[in-house]
Amino acid sequence: MPLDPNTTKDWRLEPDFHEPYNTWCSSKREPADNAALIKAIDPMINRHLLRFEAQDRAALRPKAKVLALQSMNRYDPKVANLNTYFSQQLQKLNREYNQRQQIIHIPENTNYERQRIISKASEMETELGRPPTTYELSDSIGMAPGKVERIMNLGNAITHGAFDMDDDEGGGPLLPAVATPVEFKTVVDLVYPDLNPKDQLIMEHSYGLWGKRKLAPAQLAKKLGVSQATISLRKKHIQQQMDKCVGLLR
């Protein structure tokens, strides 16, 4: 359906992007819709990555796509053209790049905060009848999930790749390996918030996210009070969500 000229007459958005932007805005913004938008704006994203070295561009590209997609929810075509808007939004890549070049220093009060996290987690487990997810815990103590992760990991790098716990049914690792820690973290950031609390815990303990101890399927089933078959089914559901995001990022 052609765009109404009256709709676009005040737009500062580049004409080449009118159609894909309007189509995306009118969609349900499901993975296929997001993928179509990303495909349209991909050349512009690549131009903004040129300020990084080739190997850094490859590592940061998935994050750049997610930043671009997330920023489109706030984009107003009447205020700025897309190139200028992305110049501002993708500055966050500099912070991402710099953080990964620095050694993480553990502050003096880390042990105190770690004990506070552990104590609150134990209290919430009693209240909920299950372990709290990292998001629930971070909300309760007023601490960002990333900070909870840094404290509980005590500076250790986040694990990345496929689930390395085999299901007892012999299904093998369930999630596809990703290329880099940056890409893995990006996929986690996209998938994790939309999972229900039990699926979040399954993901946390399967990967060792946010300082959580890795658990085998039998241990997870016991911890969550469900069968191992249920754990297997939920991990397959998580796999499907991760697959969609990995496809979007490449």
Residue 121 domain flag:
yes
pLDDT value for 172 = 39
What pLDDT does residue 82 have? 92
- Number of domains comprising the chain: 2
The stretches in the chain having pLDDT less than 70 are 1-5, 55, 99-109, 111, 153-183, 247-250
Q: Are residues 180 and 92 part of one domain?
A: no
Which residue, among 44, 90, 98, 94, has the nearest Cα to 66 in the 3D structure?
Answer: 90
Q: Given 59, 78, 101, which residue is the final one in a domain? A: 101
Whether residues 153 and 191 share a domain: the answer is yes
32 and 116 housed in the same domain? no
Does residue 134 lie within any of the structural domains?
yes
* 61 and 27 assigned to the same domain: yes
Q: Helices 54-72 and 181-191 sit at what angle, rounded to 10 degrees? A: 10
Amino acid at 217: P
Residue 11 and residue 42: Cα distance in Å, rounded?
Answer: 21
Whole-prediction pTM: 0.48
Residues 140 and 88 in one domain: no
What pLDDT does 147 receive? 82
pLDDT, residue 104, reads 46
Residue range(s) defining the domain that contains residue 94: 11-101
What pLDDT score was predicted for residue 108?
58
pLDDT digits (tens, 9 = 90+) for 28-52: 888 778 888 988 999 999 888 888 8
Q: Which of 83, 101, 119 is the last residue of a domain?
A: 101
Residues 81 and 130 in one domain: no
d(CA 68, CA 71): 5
Residues 127 and 222 in one domain: yes
Domain shared by 58 and 166, yes or no: no
Q: How many degrees, rounded to 5, is the angle at CA 40 between CA 42 and CA 10?
A: 115
Do the domain assignments include residue 6? no
Nearest to 59 by CA among 105, 104, 103, 99: 99
Do residue 179 and residue 124 come from a single domain?
Answer: yes
Of 47, 66, 101, the residue at which a domain comes to its end is 101
Please tell me the predicted confidence (pLDDT) of residue 17. 92
Alpha carbon of 17 to those of 33, 171, 232: distances in Å? Answer: 15, 44, 42
Task: Give the model's pLDDT for residue 174.
Answer: 41
Tell me, yes or no, whether 129 and 78 share the same domain: no
Task: Mark whether 93 and 116 lie in a shared domain.
Answer: no
Query: Do residue 92 and residue 152 come from a single domain?
Result: no
Single out the residue of 159, 186, 191 nearest to residue 250, CA to CA.
186
Please state, as a whole number, how many other Cβ atoms lie within 10 Å of the Cβ of residue 186: 25
Answer yes or no: is 19 within a domain. yes
